[in-house]
Structure 1
Amino acid sequence: MYLNLCFLYSVISKLLDPQSAAIVGASPKPGTVGYVLLENLATRFKGRAYPVNPKYDVVELWGRKIKFYKSLLEVEDDIDVAVIATPAPTVPKILEEAGQKGIKAAVVISSGFAEAGNVELENWVKAVAKQYGIRLLGPNCIGVYNAYTNFDTQFLPVERAGRPPPGPIALISQSGAVATAIMDWAARRRLGMGFVVNYGNKADVTEVELLEAFAEDERVKVITMYMEGLKYPGEAKRLLDTVRRIAPKKPIVVYKAGRGSTAAQRAVRSHTAAMAGTYEMYHGLFKQAGAIEASSVREMFDMAKALATQPTPRGPRVLVVTDSGGMGVQAVDALEALGLEVPEVPESIAKELKRELLPFAAVSNPIDVTGSATDEHYKIVLDMLLPTAFFDMALVVTLMQVPGLTKNLAEYIIGAKKYGKPIVAVNFGGSELVQKFEEALEDSGVPTYPTPERAAKALWALYRYSQVRRRL
């Protein structure tokens, strides 16, 4: 099994982490898919890029001369992956050339296959790929974004769709548009995403192979999945077995769209030729396999951010520290609704806190240091309670509008990481101080959320994953 996985990873790595790529359908005409792909790979990709289009010879672009090749067979160098963006009927012939060239991986951007009713054409593509031993991603996909090498087959311009920085999260998405929107969203928030892969119609490579590849990649700490539906008989069991094998080593967070209505299932079929199935089936599959299920894309990344940066807690007991009584109440509501515990502070420690905090501070849990708090009041609470066995994790509300708080508070919260327990922060507002404070926490690995509910769900994910690891 281990040797098989190593071989699989070495082949799939040609798709995810190639050193050279040919762009079939590359174009010098701005505004076309071929132009964006060429710009991505010719100007930012750290590997070698070979444009293929018989209409062009040498074209001056971006201040240099770009040589175009008539076909894949004309390229003298070895090629790891062929990126194909030509009309659907031309794809089988191009794959034949790729096979004759010895290329073992292809990303088929082109649409117009099974999702449009052309099942026979898609089967032809699959047959050619199988004949030559080519691992094929797609068709009808945006392919791969690798933030480490800038191998980027997304065909939307950077100025319209941002690319996130390298980081510990990988995304496997059945939808290209959803993947693009997530990348743009993550880029604006500086959320590190090392890999984004959209597999489209999954004529060959499925989420299972991608899960296995990311399980072996040390740069990936959390795997996220956007799913619409499975496509072939037997896929559910294969996915279940794969997730169950990987989950004890790496968290897998899944958001399943198309949750059961007739209209939703119809939309899934027309999108990627998949079957949505009953949501109850997927829910049971995820729970049994140890995946953590999200109820939205945003929630998926709220949880992934915490799972990528925080240790797993030993238990469900949460310390809540706040400078707003109202936010504290909301935090307790959210935590308890998720099955987490907010235990009272032991009387002996509460008495000591009373001596150290302001006379009107509440010390029962949530601990309300009040709107008159200073940075040091937070430090006192965290240093006194987090090292004890009474609490497993902390939710810290920091409304920076309070006059006694400064940017130094971030250092105190970051310093509390030394106790080895999960810490998440709630930071709400739009001032420069609020933004800089949030950036300091995030850059130091303390996930920050705008509401207590979202922070509570992140802690729930951490506790849920601790249970998964114990069970599996």
Structure 2
Amino acid sequence: MSLTALFDPDSIAVIGASKTPGKLGNDAMANAKEFDGPVYPVNPSGEGAVYGYEFVDSVGDTDADLALCCVPGPATPEVIEECGAAGVGAAVVFAGGFAESGDRGRELQAQIRDTADEYDIAVLGPNTAGHIIPHRDLFSSFVPGFDEIESGDVAIAAQSGGVGVTATFQLDREGYGTAGMYGLGNRVNTDFDDVVPMLDEDPAAEAIALHIEGTNEIDAAIDAIDEADTPVAALKSGNRMAEFVEAHTAAPIQEYERYEQAFRDAGAVMADSLTELLDAGRVLAQCPQADGPNVGLVTAQAGPGIMMADSLQERGVTFPELTEETRERLDEILLGFTYDKNPVDTGRPMPEFGDVIDAVGRDDNVDIVLVYEIFEHSLGYPVEELERLTADIDKPVVFTVAGPDDALAEDRERLEELGVATFDTPERGAYAASVLAETSR
């Protein structure tokens, strides 16, 4: 089975397309119309056009290789059969009411699987919010607003469509797009072990973020992660309330421990929340890999710095002693009442704050540079110093910022362009640094 038609189709059929606002087939067309290729609204009852595309009676009247199935669950097996006869290579099944809903649903899902196997169709779902690939103008989803999501460098593969949608909008709200969002749903024949290798080959995906409730293909998923060159972060949910989980995506009930060590051994980072999952993806995508786990922490405010140090030490991250050369350089810059070991605290932002970061960043004992600073209009952030530093050293730099959004925007954007990952709370910055430490060579 090839996933090419799912990841890079030539044309799209929206089966069950509608001109009625609010209907699934209308919302799917609103997103699909952004595709830079033929889009066919399929509905034998449709008249005229929707979003400028003329209705057609059957998928057999199209040359589509990707079908978006906007029909009720009981009608889906027949639609998949029609797709197979028409030569469609991939289908997205939005409807629920399959294996997650009881015996009749399991029968319907088995019919879909058998037909898909017969015709070699890759099926995403059923029971999915679909998928989007912004850098290919592909928005195969019914979720309003997905057609406005920008391209980014973190790809999301989520068992839950709701989690995938939430993650996508969080990245968008924080100023980052996505390299793709894939809602796997009930995984009729497209599972994590199928999607991860495709994402690994996508040059837009610099990191892969996985949300997993449970899969029967866990060993294959572990192998896919292990073989991927692209860094992977994973969040395992559905560890309790078994009936609720089974009624969601028909996931097998598997304990967290079944995943944790195996995924870590395969090279993945395990996150404990959706925000951690996205932050791990971002820092892995943006920063060079660290050579070791040693963090040099520079703060302009001791309180947040102490919180970050606590968090990092709880995660087993080390703060190495700075070299004598670095200490001598810091002695020339800092006032006597500051803390200049490691962490290094300047007491407040100062004109030489960038020089302090530079000194710590160039220290041979430091593998990861972590900074906390509250914005001051008279100083801004040390962008020029960080530009020189990141050009000279191949170390990850994480900058935790605080201040008014409008004041931060320009400097923060420039820092991101330099490959400096930025976060807005002490906990998030510390977690990002711990991810880099965990994945260091």
Pick the aligned partner of 1:208 from 188, 193, 197: 193
Query: CA distance change for structure 1 residues 370 and 162 in 2, over 3 Å: closer, same or farther?
Result: farther
**Match of residue 245 from structure 1:** 227
Matches within 5 A, 1:285-364: 285-364=262-341
Matched position secondary structure for 1:148? helix
**Match of residue 4 from structure 1:** none
Matched position secondary structure for 1:141? coil
**Match of residue 122 from structure 1:** 109
Alignment-mate amino acid for residue 299 of structure 2: T
Aligned-pair RMSD on alpha carbons? 1.8
Pick the aligned partner of 1:139 from 126, 145, 152: 126
**Match of residue 28 from structure 1:** 19
Query: CA distance change for structure 1 residues 205 and 431 in 2, over 3 Å: closer, same or farther?
Result: closer
**Match of residue 361 from structure 2:** 386
Q: Report if aligned partners of 1:162, 1:187 keep a CA contact under 8 Å in 2.
A: no
CA distance in structure 2 between the aligned counterparts of 1:358 and 1:51, rounded to whole angstroms: 69
1:438 maps onto 2:423 in alignment: no
Matched position secondary structure for 1:97? helix
Shift of 1:359: 4.3
Query: CA distance change for structure 1 residues 372 and 292 in 2, over 3 Å: closer, same or farther?
Result: closer
Alignment-mate amino acid for residue 466 of structure 1: S
Matched position secondary structure for 2:81? helix
With the length of structure 1 as denominator, give the TM-score of the two structures: 0.88
How many residues matched? Answer: 438
CA distance in structure 2 between the aligned counterparts of 1:288 and 1:317, rounded to whole angstroms: 21
Q: Report if aligned partners of 2:127, 2:185 keep a CA contact under 8 Å in 1.
A: yes
**Match of residue 5 from structure 1:** none
Pick the aligned partner of 1:45 from 35, 42, 65: 35
**Match of residue 273 from structure 1:** 250
Query: CA distance change for structure 1 residues 223 and 111 in 2, over 3 Å: closer, same or farther?
Result: same
Q: Cα deviations across residues 185-220 of structure 1 (Å, max 9, x unaligned)? A: 111112131110011111111111001111122221
Q: Report if aligned partners of 2:168, 2:177 keep a CA contact under 8 Å in 1.
A: no
Shift of 1:20: 0.7
Q: Cα deviations across residues 46-67 of structure 1 (Å, max 9, x unaligned)? A: 22200000111313x55x4x31
Unaligned 5+ segments in structure 2 are none
Pick the aligned partner of 1:257 from 231, 237, 252: 237
Matched position secondary structure for 2:321? coil
Alignment-mate amino acid for residue 12 of structure 1: L
Q: Report if aligned partners of 1:162, 1:184 keep a CA contact under 8 Å in 2.
A: no
Report % sequence identity.
31
Shift of 1:364: 1.5
Q: Report if aligned partners of 1:323, 1:368 keep a CA contact under 8 Å in 2.
A: yes
Q: Report if aligned partners of 1:292, 1:465 keep a CA contact under 8 Å in 2.
A: yes
Query: CA distance change for structure 1 residues 41 and 384 in 2, over 3 Å: closer, same or farther?
Result: same
Shift of 1:379: 2.5
Shift of 1:285: 2.2
**Match of residue 447 from structure 1:** 421
With the length of structure 2 as denominator, give the TM-score of the two structures: 0.94
Q: Report if aligned partners of 2:130, 2:142 keep a CA contact under 8 Å in 1.
A: no
Matches within 5 A, 1:412-431: 412-418=385-391, 419-431=393-405
CA distance in structure 2 between the aligned counterparts of 1:24 and 1:162, rounded to whole angstroms: 19
Shift of 1:433: 1.5
**Match of residue 384 from structure 2:** 411
Q: Report if aligned partners of 1:24, 1:83 keep a CA contact under 8 Å in 2.
A: yes
Query: CA distance change for structure 1 residues 57 and 404 in 2, over 3 Å: closer, same or farther?
Result: closer
Alignment-mate amino acid for residue 48 of structure 1: P
**Match of residue 18 from structure 1:** 9
Matched position secondary structure for 1:180? helix
Q: Cα deviations across residues 301-324 of structure 1 (Å, max 9, x unaligned)? A: 111111001111111211111111
Matches within 5 A, 1:171-190: 171-190=156-175
